[in-house]
Amino acid sequence: MTADQLSEPAVRAFVAAVNANDREAFRDVLAPGATMADDGTERDLAEWTEREIFSSGGRMVVESEEAGGRSLVVRYRNDTWGEMRTAWNFVVDGGKIARFETGQA
């Protein structure tokens, strides 16, 4: 499944920004004060995304979506950890990502 096939526009923009390594587009899809968790632990969103996505060449290959496109199973890869199967759950508010949670699927 490609990013442009995802049902939820904000999630579609999130995945496209990650895959394009586009920090500005990524920031634009986030709501003010957006938060995130990784494997159930709250993380600093800016620090985590820089380390796990942008500085390490993160890429998302979506396997499936549920909950109207707000829940994804993804083959996620970066230069630090290689490839792993991950779940991503999004809270969308006003067309922006207010929160996302990721972890091993």
The tally of domains found in the chain comes to: 1
Structure tokens at 10: 């904000």
Model pTM score = 0.95
pLDDT tens column, 2-53: 888 999 999 999 999 999 999 999 999 999 999 999 999 999 999 999 999 9
Question: In this structure, what CATH number is given to the domain that contains residue 60?
Answer: 3.10.450.50
Per-residue model confidence as pLDDT tens digits over 45-91: 999 999 999 999 999 999 999 999 999 999 999 999 899 999 999 99
The residue segments making up the domain with residue 28 are 3-104
